[in-house]
A and B are shown apart, each in its own frame.
Chain A
Amino acid sequence: MKNNGIQLITNGKRLDGRTARDMRSIKITPNVVKNAAGSASIEWGNNKIIAAVHGPTEALPRHTANPDRAVVKCRYMMAPFSSSEEHGRAGMNRRAVEISKVTAEVFENVILLDQFPGTEISIYVEVLQSDGGTRAAGITCASVALALSGIPMKDLPYAVSVGKVGNDLILDLDKIEDNYSEADMPVAILPRTNSIVLLQMDGAMTKEQFKEGLAMVIESGKEISRIQKEAIRAAYQEPEKEKAHM
């Protein structure tokens, strides 16, 4: 058991005062990297992440190109200063390689890849500050960046994690909860069909708990999707000052 004495839930309240089904606050800012085709930053609780999309460009090296469709390349990386603890190693570790892979696979599901044969679409997720749930926040933010790049997509994926403390399921684990909970399950969903495009789990969960956890993810998705769409809309709204001139 991972839980070694830290009481994560007291009288129905979590350490930061949330109830089991409360998410942390989420704020998405569009267009933060001028040189990218599309970009956004997200503040999800204490997580701060920038996602940017480049492409479609010629797939390089050439052997990675697919003559029938675009290939999606993703790099998720944590900054060496992103943790509240020690200085991290620069560069990709095995965890980052795995998260990059599953994130790329999320977006392979939604991009109309056959419109761009022989090209690559690069998605960069840079975690500047981490507090648990960075892969979910990164996917949610990269969705907005991809939409702003104008690359046609079938849907706007979002992601959030659900975990287990004792017999209670909790939504959107922060770092302490992630470290001490009995289970952690990040999920990414395509909201139009509720298709699951990312699913990872570690720890221990019953069949019923999985079902309930997934329902919590989909329920919270309404709010996450709303915030994503609001950020995209904001990118196309003219600043107040310019409006006054019209």
Chain B
Amino acid sequence: MRTITNEFMRERIAAGIRNTKRGNMSYRKVIVNTGNLPNAEGSAEAIIGDTKVIAGIKVDASTPMPDTPEEGNLTTSAELLPMASESYDVGPPTPESVEFARVVDRGIRHGNIIDMSRLFIEAEKVWGIYLDLYVINYDGNLFDAGTLAAMAALATTRMPRFEDGKVIRDASMKRMQTGNIVTSCTFAKVLDKMLLDPDSAEESIAKARVTIANDGNELHAMQKGMGGSFSPAEINELISATFESSKELRGIIKKSIGD
């Protein structure tokens, strides 16, 4: 049954028709909401089609990394909740969830969104930013949804204060300063076609996948996935497509953070 469906999908994609009747270089409907979880210092939900990812941010006093004693640190984790897909199981992190967390982390970390040197508190004490990604429903393209949720949550994160050895979280918390807005675009290669924002059915028949994160000026993270390959020309083309498509995503983020 699966084989028949896959064969049918390949034929349609070869003819330029996607399941959701959209163009090869267009997104499904993208929605970003912020501040749904006020117990967290920052929170956001990103919905792309039927994929839904929540990002929660907690800010805690922590010890600096030995190589950066005067900088704060960012810790990113991801949970592929078993409710989100029949193919996710309970248990320790899978390679899939680790890759997801690390790709989102890389875009955020290298996109200079947070100025880590501003997170210094005192000797041996810095602010730790904990970014947790929760996949509520999976229908492909986790990376872009995760990056959108993470970005919107970070941009609306309120910083606690450190007084008399205690972390104070109260109504007077101010937003953490953030710099660039980083978004990512993920493409799947099916036959010789490049599909932006693949859904889960498209991902299941894709030969290769690539995620490209940028801030509108520069690239900040890339990750090629799955068994297949891309030619240099294809990657160059996808980088151009990313700069084009990320304008729309940046607009959605800006709106969601009230900028």
A75 touches B90 (CB 8 A): yes
**B86 is an interface residue with CB less than 8 A from chain A:** yes
Instruction: With A39-B83, A50-B136, A124-B83 given, name 13 new contacts (CB 8 A).
Output: A35-B138, A54-B86, A80-B77, A81-B37, A81-B39, A81-B132, A85-B169, A87-B60, A87-B130, A126-B136, A129-B37, A129-B38, A131-B39
Residues on A with beta carbons closer than 8 Å to the beta carbon of B57? 81
Q: Which of A36, A46, A87 contacts B83 (CB 8 A)?
A: A36
Q: Are A81 and B81 in contact (CB under 8 A)?
A: no
Q: Is B99 interfacial (CB 8 A cutoff)?
A: no
- The verdict on A130 contacting chain B, using a C-beta distance below 8 Å, is yes
Query: How many Å lie between the Cα of A87 and that of B77 in the bound state?
Result: 12
Cβ-defined contact, B130 with A35, below 8 A: no
Contacts of B84 in A (CB 8 A): 33, 35
A34 to B200: give the CA distance in the assembly, Å.
13
- CB <8 Å contact, A87 and B137: no
CB distance from A99 to the nearest CB of B (A): 15
Question: Least Cβ distance of A41 to chain B in Å?
Answer: 9
**Cα distance A52–B37 when bound, in Å?**
19
CB nearest to B36 among chain A residues = A48
Contact A122 B82 (CB under 8 A): yes
Residues of chain B with a CB closer than 8 A to A122's CB: 82
Residue A79 interfacial (CB < 8 Å): yes
Bound complex: CA A57 to CA B36 (Å): 33
Q: Is the CB of A34 within 8 A of B82?
A: no
Q: Does A225 contact B (CB under 8 A)?
A: no
Check: A83 CB closer than 8 A to any chain B CB: yes
Residues 108-145 of B contacting A (Cβ, < 8 Å): 128, 130, 132, 134, 136-139
Within 8 A of B (CB), among A116-172: 122, 124, 126, 128-131
Asked, given contacts A75-B82, A81-B130, A86-B58, whether A33 binds B137 with beta carbons under 8 Å apart, the answer is yes
CB of A54 within 8 A of CB of B130, answer no
Min CB–CB distance B62 → chain A (angstroms) = 9
The 6 A-B residue pairs whose C-beta atoms are closest, nearest first, are: A81-B56, A52-B83, A87-B58, A81-B40, A124-B83, A84-B39
The answer on a CB contact under 8 Å between B137 and A35 is yes
- Whether B167 and A86, one on each chain, are in contact in the complex, defined by CB atoms closer than 8 angstroms, is yes
Residues of B within 8 A of A79 (CB): 56, 79, 132, 134
Partner of B39 from A52, A57, A82, A126 at Cβ < 8 Å: A82
Minimum CB–CB distance from A132 to chain B (whole Å) comes to 12
Interface size class of B (residues with CB under 8 A): 20 to 34
For the complex, is B94 an interface residue (Cβ under 8 Å from A)?
Answer: no
In the assembled complex, A234 has its CB within 8 A of some CB on chain B: no
Decide yes or no whether B54 CB sits under 8 A from chain A: yes
Task: List residues of B (127-186) whose CB comes within 8 Å of A's CBs.
Answer: 128, 130, 132, 134, 136-139, 167, 169
> Given A81-B39, A81-B43, A83-B39, are A54 and B136 neighbors across the interface (CB < 8 Å)?
no
Task: Check B236 for interface membership: any CB of A closer than 8 A.
Answer: no
A1 within 8 A of B: no
Contacts of A80 in B (CB 8 A): 56, 58, 77, 130, 132
A44-64: CB near B (< 8 Å → 1, else 0) gives 001010101010010000000
**Is A244 among interface residues, defined by CB-CB distance under 8 A?**
no
**Interface pairs (28), CB distance under 8 Å:** A33-B84, A33-B136, A33-B137, A34-B50, A34-B137, A35-B50, A35-B137, A36-B83, A36-B137, A46-B38, A48-B36, A50-B136, A54-B86, A80-B132, A81-B43, A81-B132, A85-B169, A86-B58, A87-B58, A88-B58, A90-B77, A90-B132, A124-B82, A124-B83, A126-B81, A126-B136, A128-B134, A131-B39
Does B85 make an interface contact (CB < 8 A)? yes
Inter-chain CA distance A70–B167, complex, in Å, is: 48
Answer whether residue A32 sits at the interface, using C-beta atoms and an 8 A cutoff: yes
Q: Chain A residues near B86 (CB, 8 Å)?
A: 35, 54, 57
Report B-chain residues with C-beta under 8 Å of the C-beta of A57: 86
Closest A residue to B88 using CB positions: A35
* Residues of chain A with a CB closer than 8 A to B81's CB: 124, 126
Closest chain B CB from A1 CB (angstroms): 25
Q: How far is the CA of A75 from the CA of B82 in the complex (A)?
A: 9
Least distance between B162 CB and chain A CB atoms (Å): 13
Within 8 A of B (CB), among A22-47: 32-36, 39, 46
